[in-house]
C-alpha cells in the first residue's frame, strides 16, 4: 500500500499569484508552500524537510511498487476507485466545473506528478523528474 501526499494551493495563494504585485517570484517569497512546490518540480535534490508540513495525505494506492502506483495515480480516478486500487483520503466535493454530484476527482487531489511524496513500507519517496528518490522525513514532522 502506498500513501500519496500532495501540495494544495489555497484560493488566497492563487489570487496573490495571479494578481497585481504577485507572480511566481513574489509568491515564492510570501508562501513557503509555493516555494516548496516550485523547488520540488525542479527535482528531489532540492528537498528540504521544512516543506513536509505543507503536504497532505490525499489517497491510498493499492500497488506492488512505486511505478505501479504511478500508473494508478495517473489513471482515471473514478475507475481506480471502482476497481479498488485507489482510496481517496479527503472528503468528496462537488465538481467546480460541472456543479454535479460529488466526485472522486477532488480539487486537492490531482494526478500523481513530480514533487509528490509516496510513503511505502514506512519509507518516503519523492516523485522525481525521472524515477524516485528516497528521502528522510524527520520524525517530528512525520505524519500518517
Round to whole Å and give the CA distance between 132 and 66.
Answer: 8
pLDDT score for 104: 46
pLDDT score for 126: 94
| 19: in domain | no
The helix-helix angle for 32-41 and 11-18 (nearest 10°) equals: 80
pLDDT score for 100: 54
Structural domain total, the chain: 1
Domain range for 105 is 2-9+44-141
pLDDT score for 52: 95
pLDDT tens for the chain, residues 1 to 144:
999 999 988 889 999 999 998 899 999 999 999 999 999 988 888 999 999 999 999 899 999 999 999 999 888 777 888 888 988 887 665 555 555 555 444 445 678 889 999 999 999 999 998 899 999 887 554 454
pLDDT score for 119: 96
Round to whole Å and give the CA distance between 60 and 13.
Answer: 27
| 112: in domain | yes
| 15: in domain | no
| 27: in domain | no
| 32: in domain | no
| 68: in domain | yes
| 57: in domain | yes
Distances (CA, A) of 17 to 10, 21, 54: 11, 8, 18
The strand ranges marked E within 20-130 are 56-61, 86-88, 93-94, 102-103, 117-120, 123-127
Question: Which residues have CB under 8 Å from 111's CB, separation 6+?
Answer: 73, 74
pLDDT score for 88: 85
Question: Which residues have CB under 8 Å from 5's CB, separation 6+?
Answer: 55, 56, 57, 58, 116, 117, 118, 119
| 82: in domain | yes
Amino acid at each position: 500500500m502506498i500513501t500519496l501526499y500532495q501540495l494544495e494551493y489555497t484560493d488566497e495563494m492563487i489570487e496573490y499569484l495571479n494578481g497585481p504585485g504577485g507572480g511566481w517570484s513574489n509568491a515564492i517569497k510570501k508562501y513557503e508552500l509555493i516555494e516548496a512546490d516550485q523547488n520540488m518540480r525542479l527535482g528531489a535534490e532540492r528537498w528540504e524537510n521544512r516543506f513536509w508540513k505543507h503536504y497532505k495525505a490525499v489517497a491510498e494506492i493499492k500497488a506492488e511498487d512505486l511505478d505501479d502506483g504511478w500508473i494508478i495515480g495517473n489513471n482515471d480516478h473514478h475507475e481506480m476507485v471502482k476497481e479498488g486500487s485507489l482510496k481517496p483520503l479527503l472528503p468528496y466535493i462537488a465538481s467546480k466545473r460541472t456543479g454535479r454530484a460529488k466526485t472522486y476527482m477532488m480539487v486537492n487531489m490531482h494526478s500523481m506528478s513530480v514533487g509528490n511524496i509516496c510513503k511505502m513500507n514506512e519509507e518516503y519517496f519523492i516523485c522525481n523528474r525521472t524515477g524516485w528518490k528516497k528521502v528522510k522525513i524527520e520524525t517530528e514532522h512525520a505524519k500518517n
